[in-house]
Amino acid sequence: MTVSPPLPPVRGKLLKDAVLAPYTWFRVGGAADWLFLPADTDDLSAFLQALDPAIPVTVLGVGSNLIVRDGGIEGVVIRLMGKHWGEITAVDATTLTAGAGALDLSVAKAAAANGTRGLEFLSGIPGSIGGATRTNAGCYGRELKDVLTSLEGITRTGKRVVYQGDSGDQGLPAVQMAYRHSDLPEDFIVTRLVLSGDGTDDPGAILKDIETLQARRAETQPIRDKTSGSTFANPDPPGTPNQRSAWKVIDAAGCRGLRVGGAQVSEKHCNFLINTGDATAADLEALGELVRARVFDHSGIQLRWEVRRIGRLHPPA
């Protein structure tokens, strides 16, 4: 059932039957019953306090690690993008705050400009810092939990909450993070983070390291295609003896270049799915499940989706 007015008044934008494909990196997916673009934290909190508790709420960042199914999403989709949500501020020489909508690359570059060492790895993570929090995203041997001091957010009822991160020591409720996982409540909306680096350095030297990481990513990943971040989590967490990589077990199962409709396993890096031009969300999800089945048949490994798949399989009648 689709959601009909009235909805609470807002200062931001509230769009009916908003097609979500343009907001995802795969460029697939149906429409949201309603898309809410809140002006700021107060606008978001007031909206949620007044919203009928029965109406589902889904949060969408930049859609870098997401498949929105072809039937769209029931209820209200909240997208935290724009000037307020992308604001990054240096607190001191080693600490920054970032709105949930700030791109991970932007945070890394802001840290470099501040002379803050230790956040360079964020430049290799696609998407926004809020989305990175939900999955404890990481690369190049580091994870978000390594630099997270605290985070602010809003519950489904509009209540504001602050959590302490792994690197924090403020006597706050703690968020527990593990490999590609956090225990944040499913309906919790991250709004702002406090991140701490390891020390200070020359801004130019830090930026040069970021540029090196960016070049490495471009060489090894299909970043110019309609794709996402890594499709599947590695079978073993970092530091595990004889750690197995998702791309290696996918390749060993003969899935490189495998296709379903307009969806294809990347030839460049086979832990990435790509939309070759006319893929549907159903194509991408079916291809991912086919890869999982072939890997299991070949090695007995159950790959875990890292890309979120949300929404209805088919449009409402």
Active site (catalytic) residues: 180, 230, 306
Q: Which residues contact 203 (CB under 8 A, 6 or more apart)?
A: 112, 113, 114, 115
Indicate the residue type of 129: I
Strands, sheet with 57-60, edge to edge from the N-terminal-most edge strand? 13-19, 31-37, 73-79, 57-60
Strands, sheet with 189-196, edge to edge from the N-terminal-most edge strand? 88-90, 95-99, 189-196, 148-154, 160-164
Q: Which residues pair with 60 in a beta bridge?
A: 79
Do 109 and 53 meet the contact criterion of CB atoms below 8 Å apart? no
Q: Given the structure tokens 């290696």, which residue do they identify?
A: 248
Q: Given the structure tokens 């602010």, which residue do they identify?
A: 152
Q: 10 Å Cβ neighbour count for 50?
A: 12
Cα–Cα distance measured from residue 220 to residue 186, given in angstroms and rounded to the nearest whole number: 33
Cα–Cα distance measured from residue 39 to residue 317, given in angstroms and rounded to the nearest whole number: 33
Judged on CB neighbours under 10 Å (0-12, 13-18, 19+), 280 is buried
Evaluate the omega torsion of the peptide bond into residue 6 and state whether it is cis, within 30 degrees of 0. Answer: yes
Cα–Cα distance measured from residue 186 to residue 170, given in angstroms and rounded to the nearest whole number: 24
